Amino acid sequence: MALLPNCQEHQTLDKKNTSSAPDDRNMFGLYIPRGLTKTSEGLMPGYVMFAVTNSSSVYLVDREGRVVHEWTGRNRDPVYGEVAGAYLQDDGSIIQNSYDLDFPVFAGGGEAGRLQKISWDGDILWDFEYANQHEHHHHDMAVMPNGHVLAIAWEAKTTEESIQAGRDPEKTPKAGLWPDKIVEIKPQGLNGGEIVWEWHFWDHLIQDFDESKDNYGDPAMHPELLDINRGQPFPEPISQDSMEVLHAAGRVWRNETVDNRGSDIYHTNAINYNEELDQIAISSYFLNEIFIIDHSTSTAEAAGHSGGRWGKGGDFLYRWGNPQNYQRGDSLDQQLFHQHDVRWIEEGKPGAGNLTIFNNNVPLNDSVNFSRVIELVLPKDSKGNYLVEAGQPFGPPEPVWHYMADDTLSFWASFVSGAHRTENGNTFITEGPKARFFEVTPQGEIVWEYLNQYRGEIRKPNGSPHDIMPFTYFGFRSTLISADHPGLAGRELKPLDPQPTIFKLPPPENKQDTPE
């Protein structure tokens, strides 16, 4: 198995904490105290924004845990509530994902299909559908300074196209592959959007499986390209009867079939834009890796290997987390494990220019994993080019900073979640499955903590309620917003009266009702 990254702090872990998981380790935070659970003197003035599970609402809470504002959208994911966090704009509106109610074909989690802009007063200013048989927006977006939106999307490739590109036929679902792409959308009117730039994983592939097919070459010699035979392991086949049973139990994604299991090979789950560099960072869950690409290219250049500010077209400028993907390491060199929420630290904040990543599922021993937030200083030359030595993986060999629980085990979110740096140098963290939002100092001290205590009442088409277990509260991502954010200027931010109704779980029938 892959070991912990070679950081000195990790070499001194207390053995008594690493033998096995505690019996009450509760990733979904069921039957624990919720609301404001910790605060401190001298906190940075601000508010926390998060979407409410099984609801169309986004709440803004103050530092005392009181809801001071609510945005109401449409068509939220009926299981998760939100697909990704909302993004506050300078005019007080938010831009967010929305769940397209009748999207075809695609499945895999985080299926949004729509993007919306909602005013401070709750008016729909923009509602754009990007979901059809060929492509589908999912998981996350980044709002650019010019108002354009960078969105992650699947695109459908047939089995024949996938095999011709060099994919191993035994690893290719009958439905083909759904590699990710990035599209830049210029909003137009209420429902329109023009695609003004795009980038595709599909244009930057390599493979050493079949020399008679496209993209043949040595992945170790071309870390700027992606080996098409890496990604999600091909799942074991199941029968149609078994698939129907899973659908009836709500244990598979809406459009999942026996033929498309494994089609979502990369599962890109986060995107972030750096205006100064004109670069984009993305995170791939199944590749256990983050990538940086050049946005200064034209769409034609983004499909090739030259051009743009950095001269490499759409090839990877940088990658980190799993050098096995380009044959420059093994499992001992893997550093990321189903990570989420890669972000540059913004100018004016301590660590500006570095990356923060929520490393979800770090293995500790044969049966226990934990989560860890990390900060990376990226290796560059004097001109800003990312450095990598011949035959070696991209650095750095270890993070410059990290946060994990003192006992290692109590901070664990195997999926969703995120983290970002604040103006005072603290780091704001979302432990997603538990919907736990907390702020830590550079020394790792928790100075503020709040657990979402709300849940909406979205119902199934037949009127029956959705199962409240285990995604009772849930939070893909939350954001600590400074009190001087332009979007809050002149707003009356008093606690709502009455406050929204707190959701109470019914008492558990037995211990098995509390997932570990």
Q: What is the CATH number of the domain that holds 261?
A: 2.120.10.30
**Rounded to two decimals, what is the model's pTM?**
0.92
**Is 383 inside any structural domain?**
yes
pLDDT at residue number 510? 61
**Is 511 inside any structural domain?**
no
pLDDT at residue number 252? 87
pLDDT at residue number 514? 42
**Is 515 inside any structural domain?**
no
pLDDT at residue number 109? 86
Give the angle 425-428-429 at the CA atoms, nearest 5°: 140
pLDDT at residue number 84? 59
**Is 325 inside any structural domain?**
yes
Instruction: Please give the Cα distance from 350 to 394 (Å, whole number).
Output: 24
Low-confidence ranges of the chain (pLDDT < 50): 1-21, 23, 79-83, 512-516
Percent composition of the chain: helix, strand, coil (DSSP 3-state, to 5): 10, 30, 60
pLDDT at residue number 69? 97
**Is 505 inside any structural domain?**
no
Q: Is 431 exposed, middle or buried (0-12, 13-18, 19+ CB in 10 A)?
A: buried
- Residue 98's contacts (CB-CB under 8 Å, 6 or more residues apart) are 73, 74, 75, 76, 83, 112, 113, 114, 115, 116, 127
Q: How far is CA 188 from CA 68, 149, 193, 288, 461, in A?
A: 31, 12, 5, 35, 31
The two three-digit tokens of residue 441, written as one number: 């100092």
pLDDT at residue number 509? 74
Instruction: Please give the Cα distance from 139 to 128 (Å, whole number).
Output: 15
Structural domain including 13 reads 8-497
Total number of domains constituting the chain: 1
| Alpha-carbon torsion, ordered 71, 73, 78, 80, to 10 deg | -50
- Residue 15's contacts (CB-CB under 8 Å, 6 or more residues apart) are none
Instruction: Please give the Cα distance from 431 to 475 (Å, whole number).
Output: 8
Instruction: Please give the Cα distance from 306 to 300 (Å, whole number).
Output: 10
